[in-house]
């Protein structure tokens, strides 16, 4: 029997977070023809809007509304979700900050296994699901079998599944009356907005991104020259921000910005999943790296194995002279 599959939909400002549609695709692997139920917790007009939107994507949406859920608080969300999920449910979460906060506790409360950061899975057979996770920055894949016949909690890596294109005329079910006591040890203090920065890399079509392979702060100039020649801007991986060579708003990745350029040049970037997690919209990726085994080449459309300090100035010169 196909498991009863739920996806948890995080949201903000009346909009479902980006991974919601990817979770629906992942849920389809588990339940190819059966219903997939979206669960959204919150309070007020934003929650109503998200539930309406999700009802256009799957046949059933469970709305969990309570004042204690007005701001994201994993402890309160965990309490209300465990209060309404049936036993044996398989729950999919995004593998992001909230998902990682929710997953382990949900798994304990639901008494079901937890597999984090799933990048691939096969349809379950006889209640057993085969999944793939990655270790050591994507250099090693771990293949796991998980008995999901009694339920499971899975956190799904951003970008591992395509966004679902399914549409539906679904129904929103208000499960709020079933929510029990939500008193929590944690309390919401405030939302701290991200620094704005001088450029908004999320809006750019061409990004020339530099990683640790740029070797020195002074060398960033060669990436800036290339970005200028191409009509793009410079972004970077996290070590560049940690070294204070560029500002945080330039960082691409799970703890930086999510970008959707048409063209992405990765210069001296190894291709960790935390970096690639910030790349959306299937851009054309050009990678320059002197290590032919760098994981970035697994996702690049064009790969150049070379020293970027030699290759990039030449490329800029050719473009400038064209």
Ligand X SMILES: Cc1cc2nc3c(=O)[nH]c(=O)nc-3n(C[C@H](O)[C@H](O)[C@H](O)COP(=O)(O)OP(=O)(O)OC[C@H]3O[C@@H](n4cnc5c(N)ncnc54)[C@H](O)[C@@H]3O)c2cc1C
CA distance 51 to 64: 10
Q: Give the CA count within 13 Å in the CB-facing half-sphere of 319.
A: 13
Measured from the CB of residue 281, what is the shortest distance to ligand X in angstroms?
A: 17
Counted residue by residue, the chain has a size of 322
User: Which of 76/267 has CB closer to ligand X?
Assistant: 267
Task: Select the residue interacting with ligand X from 4, 25, 158, 270 (CB under 6 A).
Answer: 270
- CB–CB of 232/205 below 8 Å? yes
DSSP code of 153? Answer: E
The answer to whether 253 contacts ligand X (rule: CB under 6 A) is: yes
The answer to whether 227 contacts ligand X (rule: CB under 6 A) is: no
Buried/exposed code over 80-118 (b: 16+ C-beta within 10 A; e: otherwise) = bbbebbeebbbbbbbbbebbebbbebbbeebebbbbbbb
Restricting to residues 53-92, name those near ligand X by CB under 6 A: none
The answer to whether 133 contacts ligand X (rule: CB under 6 A) is: no
Measured from the CB of residue 269, what is the shortest distance to ligand X in angstroms?
A: 4
The answer to whether 158 contacts ligand X (rule: CB under 6 A) is: no
CA distance 286 to 28: 32
Please name the residues in contact with 193: beta carbons below 8 A apart, sequence gap of 6 or more: none
Measured from the CB of residue 44, what is the shortest distance to ligand X in angstroms?
A: 31
Restricting to residues 273-302, name those near ligand X by CB under 6 A: 274-275, 278, 288-291, 294
Name the one range near ligand X by CB under 6 A: 84-92, 142-150, 165-173, 206-214.
206-214
**Phi and psi for 193 in degrees, rounded to 5?**
-70, 150
Task: Select the residue interacting with ligand X from 65, 158, 235, 254 (CB under 6 A).
Answer: 254
Number of residues that bind ligand X (CB under 6 A): 29
Q: Give the CA count within 13 Å in the CB-facing half-sphere of 54.
A: 35
Measured from the CB of residue 62, what is the shortest distance to ligand X in angstroms?
A: 30
Please name the residues in contact with 25: beta carbons below 8 A apart, sequence gap of 6 or more: 161, 162, 163, 164
The answer to whether 251 contacts ligand X (rule: CB under 6 A) is: yes
The answer to whether 211 contacts ligand X (rule: CB under 6 A) is: yes
Q: What is the CA radius of gyration of the chain?
A: 22
Task: Select the residue interacting with ligand X from 161, 272, 287, 316 (CB under 6 A).
Answer: 272
The answer to whether 213 contacts ligand X (rule: CB under 6 A) is: yes
User: Which of 80/208 has CB closer to ligand X?
Assistant: 208
Measured from the CB of residue 6, what is the shortest distance to ligand X in angstroms?
A: 26
- CB–CB of 232/316 below 8 Å? no
The answer to whether 95 contacts ligand X (rule: CB under 6 A) is: no
Name the one range near ligand X by CB under 6 A: 110-118, 126-134, 190-198, 233-241.
233-241
Buried/exposed code over 198-234 (b: 16+ C-beta within 10 A; e: otherwise) = eeebbebebbbbbbbbbeeeebbebbebbbebbebbb
Positions in the binding site for ligand X (CB under 6 A): 137, 211-213, 215, 237-239, 251-256, 268-270, 272, 274-275, 278, 288-291, 294, 307-309
């Amino acid at each position: 029997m196909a498991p009863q599959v739920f996806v948890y939909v995080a949201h903000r400002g009346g909009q479902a977070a980006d991974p919601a549609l990817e979770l629906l695709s992942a849920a389809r692997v588990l339940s190819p023809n059966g219903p997939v139920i979206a669960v959204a917790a919150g309070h007020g007009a934003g929650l109503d809007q998200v539930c309406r939107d999700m009802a256009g994507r799957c046949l059933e949406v469970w709305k969990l509304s309570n004042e204690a859920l007005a701001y994201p608080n994993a402890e309160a969300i965990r309490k209300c979700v465990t209060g309404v999920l049936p036993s044996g449910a398989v729950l999919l979460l995004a593998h992001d900050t909230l998902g990682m906060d929710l997953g382990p506790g949900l798994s304990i409360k639901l008494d079901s296994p937890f597999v984090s950061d799933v990048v691939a899975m096969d349809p379950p057979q006889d209640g057993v699901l085969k999944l793939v996770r990655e270790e050591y920055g994507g250099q090693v894949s771990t293949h796991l079998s998980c008995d999901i016949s009694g339920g499971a909690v899975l956190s799904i890596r951003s970008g591992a599944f395509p966004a679902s294109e399914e549409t539906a005329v679904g129904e929103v079910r208000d499960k709020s009356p079933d929510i029990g006591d939500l008193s929590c040890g944690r309390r919401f203090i405030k939302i701290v907005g991200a620094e704005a920065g001088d450029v908004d890399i999320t809006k750019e079509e061409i990004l020339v991104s530099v990683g640790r392979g740029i070797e020195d702060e002074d060398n960033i100039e060669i990436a800036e020259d290339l970005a200028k020649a191409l009509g793009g801007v410079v972004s970077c991986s996290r070590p560049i921000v940690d070294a204070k060579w560029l500002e945080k708003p330039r960082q691409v990745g799970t703890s930086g910005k999510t970008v959707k350029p048409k063209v992405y040049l990765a210069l001296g970037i190894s291709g960790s999943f935390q970096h690639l997690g910030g790349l959306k919209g299937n851009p054309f990726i050009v990678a320059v790296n002197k290590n032919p085994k760098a994981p970035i080449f697994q996702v690049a459309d064009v790969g150049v194995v070379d020293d970027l300090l030699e290759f990039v100035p030449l490329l800029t010169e050719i473009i400038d002279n064209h």
